Structures are given as C-alpha cells and as structure tokens.
Amino acid sequence: MEKTKREVSIDILKCIGLLLIILAHCSAPTFIDEIRNFDVVLLVILSGVLAVKSYERSGSGLKYIGKRLIRLIVPTYIFLTVLFILEKIVCIFNPVFPMDKNTILSSYTLTNGIGYVWIIRVYILCAISVVILMNIKKYKKIIIISLFIIYEILYYTIGDINEFFQYGVYYLIPYGLLCVYVGMQAKNWDNKKLLKVTAIFLLVFVIIFTVFYITKNQITKISDYKYPPRLYYLAYGIGISLLLYYLIDRKNILNIKEKLNNKLISFIGSHTMWIYLWQIFYLNTFAFVKFEVKWYEKYIYLVVMSIISTYIQSKIVKKLNIKNKTVKAIFDS
C-alpha cells in the first residue's frame, strides 16, 4: 500500500526528532546542542498528531493505554535486562562500569538509572494524557492553560518536593497535556491558524529570552529549563516544532516529501523506539572502550550502528514468522 503524503511527512519529522535526540548524547558544541533542544517536544507533539486515530481504533481508554504500555514498557524492559546481563558479564573481566542495585532499579522505574530511559516515562504520561484529553468535553483549552500556570507556580515555590511531583506531575502537565494537546489540535488547524499559534509560541520565547538577557546580563541556555520542562524551553520547542510541521507537512518545502519518500525514512520513522534503545547500547560501549573520538564521529557511529542493529532485528523477527500481533509489535516498533 502506497504511503500517503501525510504519513511521509510524519516519518520525516520523526526522523528529525530521533536523530536530534541521539545528537544530544554526543557532547556537541553548545550552540548546536542548544538549537536542537526542540527534539523531545517535536516527538511528543507528533504523538499527539497520531493519537486521535490510534485512540479511536482502540475503542476505549483502557485498551489504548494497555496497547501503549505494551509497546513502550515491554521493549524497554527486554532491552534493559539484556544490557545489564551483558554488562555484568563484561565487568567480570573488566570492572570499568559496575551497575549498583539502585541504578538498575531506577532504570526499570524509568526515573534516573542509566540516564536515557526517562523519555519512555514521558511517552507513558503522554498516553495517559491522551485518554484525559479525549474525555474532557468542555473548556479543554482553559483547563490546560490553568493547570500549566499552577504547575509553573508549584515548581518555582516548592520545587521537587517528592518523586510524585519530580517524575510525574512536572512532566504530565507540560509534555502530556500541553504538548500532546497542541499535536492533537495541529492536525485540524488550517495553515493560517497553524502559523498564528507558531508565531505566538516563538514570540513568547523571544520575550523570555530578552527578559533573561536583560536581568542576567547573559544568554540563558534553553536546556537549563528542560528538567522539568518549563515555559522558556517549551515555547522554543513548540514554536520550532510547529514551524517544521508547517514547512514539511503543509508547505512541502523543496518537495521534501517526494524526495524523502523512501525505504530508509520509512524504516526509521516506524522503528524509532528500537533505534533509540540500540543507541543506548552503543553509548555504553564508550564506557568500556578507552579511546577518544570527536563528537561528530561518535554521532555517526551511534546513528549508523543503531539503525543497522534495528534493521537486523527486524529481519530476524520476520524470519521467525511470528503470528502473534502483540509480540510482533514489541519487536518491530
């Protein structure tokens, strides 16, 4: 079945988001690292764009969350288990990077741990948010804005009061409710509305940037407001994400959808989960191998090896001719 233009654009945007997230782990120069700080927001917005149809296919909120949990938690747990077993074996011969119990446990709880699985927790919170948003019938925008204001006040007054707020509330509201809502709405906006909302978020970012610069007499890094995500980071992330969505999905700048409508883009767009997990594996190899590489060499290595490993995995899954749809979804996502 031939892919629609809409699907091609989503695949392209997914590729951009994934490749920039991998770049975040390569110690790129500060300027580049700051520019790419819309990657997670972009992927969350895309999950919102795709959420409505996925929710409707599921038939109910519980079934939707159940399917999302299977596609998110099971692959992550399988990957973590294999990773920890391999590292345990390696550490027998070369105890460079021993894993303590707290690191292992907090990896499975998707809090701290090995440091890269927090995004899986974000996606889980987004799935919960989809159900919440689909069941709010009135005053949805007012409720979300009010909750976001309360969230900002809470963070600036009480901070990380406990793990429930630190890992739950402070990510559920900005990513789950705000960004997912923007994604759910964006697919229905006409070009004029899309550009208007884009301009509003970018204007908010410029205003905050200017205020910070005047009051602090220096440029404030966007990444300083990422954990948890606050307005400065979100305004930039949402503004740039919507701008890309307009340019690629609506404007089709430079005929990009036709030029990138190929098997590689399709493969990356439909296997973002496992490509991301595999790059964690190859990131960890740098803890054992004692050699220096430039940031861009590390980036190329991570991207190429992660895609190749995911491709081999997908071929093995096909060769096994697995009939169970759930199992296939776990290893082919």
pLDDT in tens, 207-265: 999 999 999 999 999 999 999 999 999 999 999 999 999 999 999 999 999 999 999 99
pLDDT at 290: 66
Q: Residue 4 pLDDT more than 60?
A: no
pLDDT score, position 142:
96
pLDDT, residue 115, reads 84
pLDDT at 66 over 50: yes
* pLDDT above 70 coverage of the chain, percent: 94
Name every residue whose Cβ is closer than 8 Å to that of residue 327 and which is 6 or more positions away in sequence. none
Contact (Cβ atoms closer than 8 angstroms) between residue 14 and residue 269: yes
- Computed over every residue of the chain, the mean pLDDT equals 91
pLDDT, one tens digit per residue, over 288-309 is: 666 788 999 999 999 999 999 9
Q: What is the pLDDT of residue 98?
A: 58
- pLDDT, residue 95, reads 63
Residue 5 has pLDDT above 60, yes or no: no
The reported pLDDT for the residue numbered 102 is 87
DSSP 166-214: IIIIHHIIIIIIIIHHHHHHHTTS-HHHHHHHHHHHHHHHHHHHHHHHH
Sequence-distant contacts of 23-29: CB under 8 A, at least 24 apart? 23/299, 25/116, 25/279, 25/283, 25/302, 26/295, 26/296, 26/298, 26/299, 26/302, 27/295, 27/298, 28/295, 28/296, 28/299, 29/295
For the packed helices 263-270 and 5-23, what is the interaxial angle rounded to 10 degrees?
70
Half-sphere exposure of 117 (CA within 13 A, CB side): 25
Instruction: Read off the pLDDT band of 96 (50, 70, 90).
Output: low
Average of pLDDT values for 173-181?
96
